[in-house]
Amino acid sequence: MLDAIFDNASEADLGLLEQELSKILLNGEKIIKGFKLMRDFFVFTEHRLILVDVQGLTGKKKEYHSLPYKSITHFAVETAGGFDRDAEMKIWISGESYPIEREFKRSEGKIFEVQKILAHYVLIN
C-alpha cells in the first residue's frame, strides 16, 4: 500500500496482469514480469514490452503501448543518488529521438531487475 502512495515501483501480480491485458495479449503470449508505478504499469512478455498509461479520474481510460524488443535501439538505467533518490529507466525506440522514461522512487533494487530483463530480451532476441 505504501509503495503505491509513494510511487515506488512494485512487482505486480501476474494473474491480475493477465486478466487486465487479456484483450491485447497474443494467444499463448506469456507475461514474464510486471511492475506497477502508481496507477500506470508496464509488463515484459516474451515478445514485447507493454506500457500502460492509466488516464482520467476514474482510471477507465487507458493507453497501451506495445514495444517489440527488436524496436528498442538502446536502453539505460540510472541509479538513485544522494540528493536524487529516484532511479530511472530510459528506452530509445527506432525512429524516435527522445526516450521513453519511467521513474522508480526509492526502488534501486527494482531498476537492476528491469535492466536484466531488458538486456535478456533486447540483446539476446
The rounded distance, in Å, linking the Cα atoms of 122 and 125 is 6
For 79-107, what is each residue's pLDDT tens digit?
Answer: 877 666 678 889 999 999 999 988 776 65
Pick the CATH number of 2-124 from 2.30.29.30, 2.30.40.10, 1.20.120.420, 2.60.110.10: 2.30.29.30
Extract the C-alpha cell encoding 24. 491485447
Mean of pLDDT over the chain: 84
Check: CB of residue 121 under 8 Å from CB of residue 44: yes
Q: Where are the domains of the chain?
A: 2-124
pTM, two decimals, is 0.82
| Over residues 50-79, mean pLDDT | 91
